[in-house]
Amino acid sequence: MISESAHALLSASGSHKWLHCTPSARLEATLPEAQSDYADEGRLAHEIGELKLRKAFIEPIGTRTYNSRLKKLQEKPLYQDEMLRHTDTYMDYISKVVHGFSSPPYIAIEKKLDYGTYAPEGFGTGDCIIIGGNTLRICDLKYGKGVPVSADMNPQMMLYALGALSEYAILYAIEKIVMTIIQPRLDSISECELSTADLLSWGESIKPVAQKAYEGLGEFVPGDYCQFCRAKATCRARAEANLKLTDEFCFMKPPLISNEEVGQILERAQNLAKWAKNLEEYALNEILAGSVVPGWKAVAGRSNRQFADVDQAFKILTSTGMDEAMLYKRQPITLTETEKLVGPAKFKVLLDAFVIKPPGKPALAPLSDKRDAYTRITAEEAFGNINNSNENGGLENE
């Protein structure tokens, strides 16, 4: 799997930044790319997903060869068993799409796509491309769970679609584009459909913006995309925008601020908190690297006592006559661990009736958040179904 951001200045994955903050692409190019276990974890999950798709649709890989390749991936330090389950979700979605066509569609996995016609020297890698009838489908696996990603007019997906259209329009009469983002760790599959004409129109509309970004021109414009920028901690435009918070509200005279003012200040304060965290991380890394940040130093954080050898420590206690049972806690394994233990199919048959998903704890979110507004329900309503299942034995499906 090739990382597009390592090569393309105007990467598709960074398009939300450079389409709004045009000089950011050139600025980021002067800064080192941060290494992250989360990014490496995502790449590993993509490799597993790619292997599964290639075996199913592209290459006649034998079971022994497939298992050997999978084992090598499983030996990597960041591998977790849940990657198999989550990439199965990705695989199941692709399979459903493929088998939904009346005749076998064209399929490409990890395909390099050139959208340089619309963004200078722009290219990226599409996770899965499917073409059948008059429809081009662009599917993207997002393994992260920190930020929900929607496919709705998503510029990364639209650039991929433009690249695929440039590649395949001469071979296929493509009239419709369907873009899908599969985010299995958030139980999210998001789709967006648009016509080829609308996609091409959007492509033409971004040409001047992309040219400006390529040349490093325009104004720095802070936004929610800053969290993905290499300059997020030390960008002066972002610093000035956050430091305006006190200036903008110093005019307030009454002893209490209104709800309207609370909303305005809270929005700015959240951005300020994110920026402050980015600054702390940057300053700590600078100090650990030997640089000086006036007024600050690195110190050892808080830690808790622990046994150097817990088995030996408990052995001493039991030798004094203490009951070993007193040294251990007995607690049930989690639902996810139970499902892994008995297998998804058997779990569904035996225990599905006992599974509930009560609403999460209320959390504050901006109105732009796509989740439904929180609705209070009683404990009786939340747990009513499982009580009914218990009365019936929960084994109707057996």
pLDDT at residue number 393 = 46
Ranking 15-29, 150-164, 172-186, 327-341 by mean pLDDT, the lowest is 327-341
Q: What is the mean pLDDT of residues 381-393?
A: 49
Tokens for 299?
């110190």
| 3-state SS record for the chain | CCCHHHCCCCCCCCHHHHCCCCCHHHHHHCCCCCCCHHHHHHHHHHHHHHHHHHHHHHCCCCHHHHHHHHHHHHCCCCCCCHHHHHHHHHHHHHHHHHCCCCCCCEEEEEEEEECCCCCCCCEEEEEEEEEECCEEEEEEECCCCCCCCCCCCCHHHHHHHHHHHHHHCCCCCCCEEEEEEEEHHHCEEEEEEEEHHHHHHHHHHHHHHHHHHHHCCCCCCCCHHHHHCCCCCCCHHHHHHHHHHHHHCCCCCCCCCCHHHHHHHHHHHHHHHHHHHHHHHHHHHHHHCCCCCCCCCCCCCCCCCCCCCHHHHHHHHHHCCCCHHHHCCCCCCCHHHHHHHHCHHHHHHHHHHHCCCCCCCCCCCCCCCCCCCCCCCCHHHHHHHHHHHHHCCCCCCC
Q: pLDDT (tens digit, 9 = 90+) per residue, 256-284?
A: 777 887 887 788 888 888 888 888 888 88
Q: pLDDT (tens digit, 9 = 90+) per residue, 335-369?
A: 888 888 888 888 889 999 998 888 778 877 777 77
Q: pLDDT (tens digit, 9 = 90+) per residue, 8-41?
A: 899 999 999 999 999 999 999 998 887 778 889 9
Give this prediction's pTM: 0.73
Measured distance CA(156)–CA(325) in Å, rounded: 56
> Higher model confidence: residue 50 or residue 2?
50
**pLDDT greater than 80 at residue 308:** yes
pLDDT confidence bin for 390, thresholds 50/70/90: very low
Domain ranges of the chain: 4-215, 233-288, 331-398
pLDDT at residue number 250 = 58
> Higher model confidence: residue 326 or residue 5?
326
**pLDDT greater than 80 at residue 118:** yes
pLDDT confidence bin for 57, thresholds 50/70/90: very high
pLDDT confidence bin for 384, thresholds 50/70/90: low
What is the dotted CATH code of the domain comprising 4-215?
A: 3.90.320
Residue 136 sits at φ, ψ, to 5 deg, of -110, 125
**pLDDT greater than 80 at residue 387:** no
